[in-house]
Amino acid sequence: MPSRRARDGRKAPQRSRTRAPLRPTWRIRRATEDDIPGVLECLRAAFDPYRDQYTPIAFRATVLTPQSARQRIGSMVVFVAVDARGTVLGTVSARRGARGRGNLRGMAVRPSHQGTGLAPSLLDRALRHLARENCESVTLGTTAPLRRALRFYERNGFARTRRTLDFFGMPLAIYSRHLGPPRRPAAPTGSGRTPRTKA
Ligand SMILES: CC(C)(COP(=O)(O)OP(=O)(O)OC[C@H]1O[C@@H](n2cnc3c(N)ncnc32)[C@H](O)[C@@H]1OP(=O)(O)O)[C@@H](O)C(=O)NCCC(=O)NCCS
């Protein structure tokens, strides 16, 4: 039960030196180049179960290499969820594209931390970043083997578009989601409640 400490901001909050709670905890922050080994490990751990369903080039492009990870950190904002020891438990990258469109790539959570709430927190952090960058919508691409990811994105407001790209020999389905308030005047009141869904 939380103690009733004064929270008027006069005292600097005292950091507890007690042991970490049993509940899994993590911190989400921007990655730096120092995180590259951890990001690569996390990607490999998350995507390894799907390796056989990927073309070799598509798999390599997904789990990145030290070089492509460095390029990604240079071209996108890469977020990492880390535990107290600095182990990367999850990652996602975000970038503002043309015409206020945001793009997400490389979402992955270590199997040990899937289904814990970490993935929604990471996604939320990336979406808030894109919203601050004035993105009105966000897209991402995903491949057919990643069924758990498809469910995750649909639960989080993404819908499949008609666009499919080629990802190193694999169809890449493009999902999209609205972000933030529309810039243009909305349709008259009472409309726009039923989103159109497509299988
Ligand atoms: C995609 C990914 C990031 C989603 O993360 P996640 O932790 O699996 O997603 P969720 O938090 O929604 O949890 C998923 C499952 O756990 C369940 N779950 C969530 N929180 C739970 C909880 N507290 N207790 C029990 N179950 C829970 C959900 O119901 C869901 O089950 P379902 O998919 O069978 O319906 C993760 O699965 C992953 O890294 N996958 C491999 C890489 C990948 O596909 N990346 C996407 C690239 S496009």
**Which CATH number belongs to the domain containing residue 113 in this structure?**
3.40.630.30
pLDDT at 3 over 50: no
Say if residue 190's pLDDT is above 70. no
Confidence of residue 180 (pLDDT cuts 50, 70, 90): confident
pLDDT computed for residue 185 by the predictor: 55
pLDDT, residue 182, reads 56
Q: Whose CA is nearest to atom 31 of ligand 1?
A: 115
Q: How far apart are CA 30 and CA 14, in angstroms?
A: 25
Give yes or no for residue 16 having a pLDDT over 80. no
Task: Establish whether residue 108 lines the binding site of ligand 1, counting it when its CB lies within 6 angstroms of any ligand atom.
Answer: yes
- Assigned domain for 92 exists: yes
Residue 193 lies in a domain: no
State CA 75 to chain mean position distance.
16
Is 58 a member of any domain? yes
Query: Residue 183 above 80 pLDDT?
Result: no
Domain count, the chain: 1
Q: What is the domain range of residue 65?
A: 27-178
Classify residue 158: in a domain, yes or no.
yes
**Highest mean pLDDT: which range of 21-30, 118-127, 184-193:** 118-127
Residue nearest to atom 2 of ligand 1 (CA): 149
* Separation between Cα atoms, residue 118 and residue 111, nearest integer Å: 11
Residue closest via CA to ligand 1's atom 28 equals 115
Residue 16 lies in a domain: no
Q: Does the beta carbon of 47 sit less than 6 angstroms from any atom of ligand 1?
A: yes
Element (H, E) at 128: helix 118-132
